[in-house]
Amino acid sequence: MMKIASRRSRIMVALAAALVFAGSAAEARVGGGRNSFGSRGARTWDAPPSTNTAPGTAAPIQRSQVPNQGPALNRPGMPAPTTAQPRRFGFGTGLMAGLLGAGLFGLLMGHGFFGGLSGLASFLGLLLQIGLVVFLVSLAMKWFRRRQPAYAGPQGYDRTVHGGSSVPPAGSRGLGALGGLGAGLGGAPAGAARPGVRDEVGIGDRDYAAFERSLIDVQEAYSRGDVARLWAIATPEMAGYMQEELNDNAARGVVNTVSNVRLLQGDLAEAWREGATDYATVAMRYSLVDVTAEKATGRVIEGDPARPVEATEIWTFRRDQGGPWKLSAIQQA
């Protein structure tokens, strides 16, 4: 009986680990293609205006160092995003806590939650045990990630450098046949904002070219694991988030490689000034080859090296006192 319980426990743990690893492997490129994080100054918790490139409402910011002061600061008519709350341990009180405690005790004793039953009930018990282990492992991983100390800066991280697509030279417009940044779908010349766009900064051709270079530069630096470069081209907050993702990938033994990044379409959502700081929020649709592989074996576990995929995201850039534009936030469209 003990041998059967032990064998079933080993199978359960193996299945749980496989499910957790599969869920983690889905994270790819900067932000995993699902996360919205960073800061947009005083407009962090406001939804950016829709554009031709991203006509829908952008996903709300999930992680930011800017505190959310509540819905009073959000634009009228826009949904009020909420600050992502940290997950806590604890699964309720009263009856649920008692049942869970009894189940865990039975699991540790080798009988499982439904060890005294047979047939369908025993099978359901096994499924519940697998689900519980997956939930506990996932929750523990997220909790330990949040318990990690704040990012320490660009030093102390060493990764193999991979090749990628070349960044357009600073003098080129590089806005592509489909319009590129500033052109959108309306046929306006590059550098001319769409009618009705609130541009308090005066975004021009050089700014659009800088945004496009940043799109490519950030993705390639992330793919190489070049933390020092990320800290040079993004705000400290964004660089810290990206370094955290790279550390998580390294801990899981996977490598995310991004290549052939190409801007397909983009336009300005809004640009504004806060004191000596300029902000510009841009919608961008781009293609890239996005592959996640096991570092030890090279086995591809996510993506197709021969097939580009498309992504549409809202990127916000920040410029302090006439300095270079730096990535300040990414939101999913």
Residue pLDDT, tens place only, 300-320: 999 999 999 999 999 999 999
Q: CB–CB of 241/37 below 8 Å?
A: yes
Domain 35-85+151-332 indexed as CATH 3.10.450.240: yes
pLDDT at residue 241 greater than cutoff 70: yes
Average pLDDT, the chain: 73
* pLDDT over 60 (residue 66): yes
Rg (the chain; Cα; Å): 24
Q: How many CB atoms lie within 10 A of CB 189?
A: 9
Distance CA 68, CA 46 (A): 10
> Any idea where the domains of the chain sit in the sequence?
2-21+86-147, 35-85+151-332
Distance CA 55, CA 93 (A): 45
User: Any idea which residue has 């400290």 for tokens?
Assistant: 236
Phi-psi region of 183 (alpha: psi -120 to 50; beta: other; left: phi over 0): alpha
CB atoms within 10 A of CB 54: 24
Q: Which is more confidently placed, 118 or 323?
A: 323
Three-state secondary structure call for residue 101: helix
Overall average pLDDT of the 35-45 stretch: 96
Identify the DSSP state of 191.
T
- The structure tokens listed for 164 are 């990628």
**Nearest CA to 317 among 201, 206, 211?**
211
Owner of token pair 């309306």: 186
For residue 274, pLDDT over 90 is answered with yes
pTM attached to this predicted model: 0.62
pLDDT of residue 322: 82
- Return the number of other C-beta atoms located less than 10 Å from residue 277's C-beta: 14
pLDDT of residue 184: 42
pLDDT at 297: 96
Q: Kindly give, in sequence order, each residue whose CB lies less than 8 Å from that of residue 191, ignoring residues fewer than 6 positions away.
A: 182, 203, 204, 205, 208
pLDDT above 50: residue 71: yes
The kind and range of the H/E element at 17 are helix 2-25
Pair 131, 177: CB distance under 8 Å: no
